């Protein structure tokens, strides 16, 4: 699996200081409105106000049963699967260490099982063959990101995203001689994704984040031979760590 995110931050016009007293210093303290409050964690400047960010994240994963040791219950397994994700995004830092942005998501996945036999302790045996599945999804989201700079050099920080998104996915499925069927799923979700960011160089940063909580509403409809054969609507709330929601990024600042 290969994950790559490339982002470019463009300073806003007029951001270059004229006087030394106006110079932006990464890692400097951000003074709260109520200076009487004493915070244990000092918020230091890591994302100056007025900056633009644009980028693209790419993820590709490929699976082949011949190279896997995880399907221990399947005998004679012949399976393949692949997944590609593209997610361009743009954001604007409207306040020191606070940004708002939009993201477009596209995912294409496909897989097939030539043949497999499941044998559970000799009491249950199930054989499948010629199973094909493919999925395409598109969606968009808006997010609000908050940074907290940790060190005085402005090199290391943490952040979290509040995400409001919409996704429409179509999944096609065929098994043996049963014919093709497909489902159409529309989902609206609210998610929370924390992460960490580090600047190994002045103009380069790396980051990692993962979605740990989500509330969603989905409308799913199933079709067989062009006719609707079933539907399901409902809310779903989940919290926890899922490695499929983990993403890594490389950011270039100009």
**pLDDT bracket for residue 201 (50, 70, 90):** confident
Place 161 in a pLDDT band, splitting at 50, 70 and 90: very high
Of the candidate ranges 77-81, 206-210, 223-227, the one whose mean pLDDT is the lowest = 77-81
Task: Identify the structural domains of the chain with CATH numbers, from first to last.
Answer: 2-13+39-253 (2.40.160.20)
pLDDT, residue 159, reads 92
Q: Which residue has the tokens 């230091």?
A: 44
Report percent pLDDT > 90 for the chain.
25
Confidence of residue 19 (pLDDT cuts 50, 70, 90): very low
Mode of pairing for the β-strands spanning 156-175 and 98-120: unpaired
Q: Could you read off the pLDDT of 163-199 as tens digits, one per residue?
A: 999 999 988 877 655 567 888 999 999 999 999 988 8
Mean pLDDT for 5-30 is: 55
Distance CA 81, CA 83 (A): 7
Place of tokens 């160089």: 201
Would you call 236 exposed, middle or buried from its count of C-beta atoms within 10 A (0-12, 13-18, 19+)? exposed
Give the separation between CA 194 and CA 147, rounded to whole angstroms.
Answer: 10
- pLDDT interval class at 4 (50, 70, 90): low
Residue 73 confidence (pLDDT): 40
- Predicted confidence at residue 230, as pLDDT, reads 86
Distance CA 44, CA 201 (A): 18
Least confident of 52-66, 97-111, 157-171: 52-66
Cα–Cα dist 11/20, whole Å: 18
Q: What is the number of other CB atoms lying within 10 angstroms of the CB of residue 211?
A: 22
Given a contact cutoff of 8 angstroms between Cβ atoms, the answer to whether 163 and 190 are in contact is yes
Task: Tell me the average pLDDT across 219-223.
Answer: 91
Residue 22, judged by CB atoms within 10 A of its CB (0-12, 13-18, 19+), counts as exposed
C-alpha–C-alpha distance, residues 85 and 2, integer Å: 10
- Residue 17, pLDDT score: 45
Mean pLDDT across the chain: 75
> What pLDDT was estimated at residue 111?
74
Q: Which residues pair with 246 in a beta bridge?
A: 210
- Provide the pLDDT for residue 151: 84
């Amino acid at each position: 699996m290969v994950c790559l995110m490339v982002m470019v931050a463009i300073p806003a016009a007029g951001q270059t200081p004229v006087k030394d007293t106006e110079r932006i210093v990464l890692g400097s303290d951000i003074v709260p409105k109520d200076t009487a409050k004493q915070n244990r964690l000092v918020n230091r400047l890591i994302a100056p106000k007025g900056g633009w960010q644009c980028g693209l994240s790419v993820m590709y994963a490929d699976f082949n049963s011949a190279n896997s040791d995880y399907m221990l219950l399947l005998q004679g397994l012949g399976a393949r699967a692949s997944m590609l994700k593209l997610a361009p995004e743009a954001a604007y830092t409207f306040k020191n260490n606070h940004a708002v942005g939009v993201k477009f998501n596209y995912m294409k996945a496909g897989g097939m099982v030539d043949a497999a036999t499941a044998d559970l302790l000799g009491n249950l045996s199930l054989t499948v063959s010629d199973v094909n599945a493919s999925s395409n999804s598109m969606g968009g989201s808006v997010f609000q990101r908050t940074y907290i700079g940790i060190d005085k050099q402005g090199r290391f920080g943490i952040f979290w995203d509040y995400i409001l998104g919409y996704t429409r996915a179509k999944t096609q499925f065929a098994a043996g001689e049963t014919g093709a069927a497909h489902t159409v799923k529309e989902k609206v979700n609210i998610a929370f994704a924390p992460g960490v960011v580090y600047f190994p160089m002045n103009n380069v940063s790396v980051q990692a984040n993962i979605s740990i909580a989500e509330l969603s509403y989905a409308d799913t409809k199933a079709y067989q031979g062009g006719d609707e054969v079933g539907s399901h609507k409902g809310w779903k709330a989940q919290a926890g760590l899922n490695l499929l929601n983990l993403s890594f990024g490389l950011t270039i600042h100009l």
